[in-house]
């Protein structure tokens, strides 16, 4: 069920970006370092997006679940992406926190630009 919840959250996040004019370049991009949920771009920015979906009363909020270890893995994976697909766009790390309410309704979507910086 948790995997289904995560997949559902990633689809919501991708739809959220598309509605705001972003192009989805990849979903669930894997490297030996880890995974990036969504890679998207607009005319100026390439965004590496982590999506966390949690039930409303979970012990850890969606944004708190993006640990420093996860951030490091994302940075290394983003570097791998950029080596494979060079880009002149400005890279950025964003985060999407989705809170799920009763009956699997979307309680809240929080989009955080520049959620963290590369080292």
Q: What's the mean pLDDT in 22-27?
A: 97
pLDDT, one tens digit per residue, over 35-58 is 999 999 999 999 999 999 888 777
pLDDT of residue 1: 45
Number of domains making up the chain: 1
Domain containing 92: what range? 2-116
Res. 107: pLDDT tops 50: yes
pLDDT of residue 119: 64
pLDDT of residue 82: 97
For the domain that residue 44 is a member of, what is the CATH number? 3.40.1350.10
Q: Residues 84, 119: contact at Cβ < 8 Å?
A: no
Stated pTM of the model = 0.90
Give the per-residue SS3 of the chain.
Answer: CHHHHHHHHHHHHHHHHHHCCCEEEEEEEECCCCEEEEEEECCCEEEEEEEEEEECCCCCCCHHHCCHHHHHHHHHHHHHHHHHCCCCCEEEEEEEEEEECHHHCEEEEEEEEEEECCC
């Amino acid at each position: 069920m948790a995997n289904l919840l995560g997949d559902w959250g990633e689809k919501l996040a991708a739809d959220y970006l598309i509605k705001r004019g972003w192009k989805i370049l990849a979903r669930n991009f894997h490297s030996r370092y880890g995974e990036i949920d969504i890679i998207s771009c607009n005319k100026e920015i390439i965004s590496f997006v982590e999506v966390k979906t949690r039930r409303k009363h979970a012990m850890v909020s969606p944004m708190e679940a993006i640990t420093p270890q996860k951030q490091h893995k994302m940075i290394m994976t983003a570097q791998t992406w950029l080596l494979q697909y060079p880009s002149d766009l400005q890279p950025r790390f964003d985060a999407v926190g989705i809170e799920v309410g009763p009956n699997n309704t979307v309680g809240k979507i929080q989009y955080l630009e520049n959620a963290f910086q590369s080292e």
